[in-house]
Amino acid sequence: MSNVTVIGAQWGDEGKGKIVDWLASRADIVVRFQGGHNAGHTLVVGNQTYKLSLLPSGLVRGKTGLIGNGVVIDPQALLAEIDRVRAQGLDVTPQSLRIAENAALILPVHGAIDRAREVARGERKIGTTGRGIGPAYEDKVARRAIRVCDLAEPETLDWKLDELLLHHNTLLQGLGAPVFTKQDLMDWLMALAPRILPFADRVWELLDEARRAGRRILFEGAQAVMLDVDHGTYPFVTSSNTVASNAGTGSGVGPASIGFVLGIAKAYSTRVGAGPFPTELFDETGRLLGERGHEFGTVTGRPRRCGWFDAVLVRGAIRVGGINGLALTKLDVLDGFDEIRICTGYTLDGIAVRHLPAAPAASLRTLPVFETMPGWKETTRGARSYADLPAQAIKYVRRIEELVEAPVTLLSTSPERDDTILVRDPFEG
């Protein structure tokens, strides 16, 4: 049996939550390995809807959940999320959830810096959530981060806060924003420490023990390949590496342990925030896709930009993301269209190009080349086998496979967990 790593193959919001939830029923452990509480997964289980940002989705299925060292953790946000799901009847305890002791923390000063910078950018906003994710990752690579394990050592927090505030208060003053005091941050951390520390553990060791015992591990990514800090549409990206190879780095396992890589892609395209989006639709069709797909950010509530499926973008994501197979979601949103279009190439200043340019100005000038296919009038919603799909819908899926050069191994036809067509079991490798 293989482990499975799930990552987004577009700009996030592809429906990873449902797919991870579906796979988690057959896993033993579910691991978050990057990102922070700027990502959101929505899980529909019976009559309950869970909105998770930091908690591994497998907790909903009674599985062990691990938060790896690659995640930046806002302790207050994490505890609020735990309290919220507990109120929904989900018991999250130190027995079911373990947090890497070497994971970096997000402090209130990080959110303040994030928001002040975004205001200062004016018309050139990146579109961050303002939750401090980027500044927390900056502190991590600058070696001034406060980590989970530091909560047990007030003397360590004392000198680390001095160094951290020397940097951040200088920035805040320069941006004309209020500064922070050391005592306020110390009090904030000390108040949260007794609730966070019982969850702390050596996640790398837990995963090594699980590997040796032959347990199935599901690695759960946040955001998506086109938001990767190296491989995405920089600078309109997140602050971490979202590709599958980071599952090992972000949790403490070797690359051989990440197993089968399942990329999640919508049957169309969406994006939240600023940045290039070659297939974006500004017409009634774009509005209709957003309305049918309920395209609003789980965390931010912001409306998502909508467009046709971009096969060039997804093909690139498959290559750099290490994706072995696709889970195609929200096929039912395309029901009823007379025609459906797929982006099969780009032009830049009238010249054909094979990839979205890395340079920001060039990427914004890139135009899509579309192929048009007939739509279907029948419904695909709730289909659980290929026999239940209209012939034209099957042709659309097959054409996507040809263009992205990877098989569709799962097909989702509604938000309901069991409305899923399994073509190939990722856990079988």
Say if residue 123's pLDDT is above 80.
Answer: no
Distances 155 to 190, 191, 263, 272 between C-alpha atoms, Å: 12, 15, 44, 41
Return the pLDDT at 126.
73
Return the pLDDT at 51.
85
- Supply the DSSP string of 284-339, one letter for each residue: HHHHHHHHHTT-B-TTT-PBPEEE-EEHHHHHHHHHHHT-SEEEEE-GGGGTT-SE
**CA dist., res. 98 & res. 339, Å (int):** 48
Say if residue 364's pLDDT is above 70.
Answer: yes
Residue 228: closest CA among 410, 21, 70 = 70
Contact 217, 27 (CB under 8 A): yes
Bond preceding residue 235 cis, omega within 30 of 0:
yes
Say if residue 410's pLDDT is above 80.
Answer: yes
- Supply the DSSP string of 129-187, one letter for each residue: -SSSHHHHHHHHHTT---BGGGGG-HHHHHHHHHHHHHHHHHHHHHTT-----HHHHHH
Q: State the amino acid at position 141 in one-letter form.
A: V
For 17-55, how does the pLDDT look when each residue is reduced to its tens digit (9 = 90+)?
Answer: 888 888 988 899 999 999 999 877 777 777 778 888 899
Return the pLDDT at 300.
62
Average confidence score pLDDT of the chain: 93
For 220-257, how does the pLDDT look when each residue is reduced to its tens digit (9 = 90+)?
Answer: 999 999 999 999 999 999 999 999 999 999 999 999 99
Torsion angle of C-alpha atoms 351, 284, 299, 248, degrees rounded to 10? -40
Residues 248-271, mean pLDDT to the nearest whole number: 96
Lowest mean pLDDT among 80-84, 175-179, 300-304: 300-304
Say if residue 60's pLDDT is above 90.
Answer: no
**CA dist., res. 150 & res. 313, Å (int):** 41
Return the pLDDT at 20.
87
For 85-120, how does the pLDDT look when each residue is reduced to its tens digit (9 = 90+)?
Answer: 999 988 899 999 999 999 999 999 999 999 999 888
Contact 384, 401 (CB under 8 A): no
Residue 145: closest CA among 97, 79, 76, 73 = 73
Return the pLDDT at 402.
98
Q: Which residues, at least 6 apart from 335, have a Cβ–Cβ distance to it below 8 Å?
A: 376, 377, 378, 379, 380, 381
**CA dist., res. 182 & res. 160, Å (int):** 10
- Counting every residue written for the chain, the total comes to 429
Contact 58, 64 (CB under 8 A): yes
Residues 365-380, mean pLDDT to the nearest whole number: 96
**CA dist., res. 362 & res. 106, Å (int):** 34
Per the model's pLDDT, the better-predicted residue between 298 and 172 turns out to be 172
368 CB-contact burial (10 Å; exposed 0-12 / middle 13-18 / buried 19+): buried
Q: State the amino acid at position 19 in one-letter form.
A: I
Per-range mean pLDDT, top range of 195-199, 381-385, 418-422 = 195-199
Residues 139-144, mean pLDDT to the nearest whole number: 96
Return the pLDDT at 327.
96
Active site residues: 13, 41
| Strand partners for 340 | 373
Q: Which band of pLDDT confidence, cut at 50, 70 and 90, is reported for residue 328?
A: very high
Return the pLDDT at 298.
60
How many other β-carbons are positioned within 10 Å of the β-carbon of residue 37? 25
Say if residue 299's pLDDT is above 70.
Answer: no
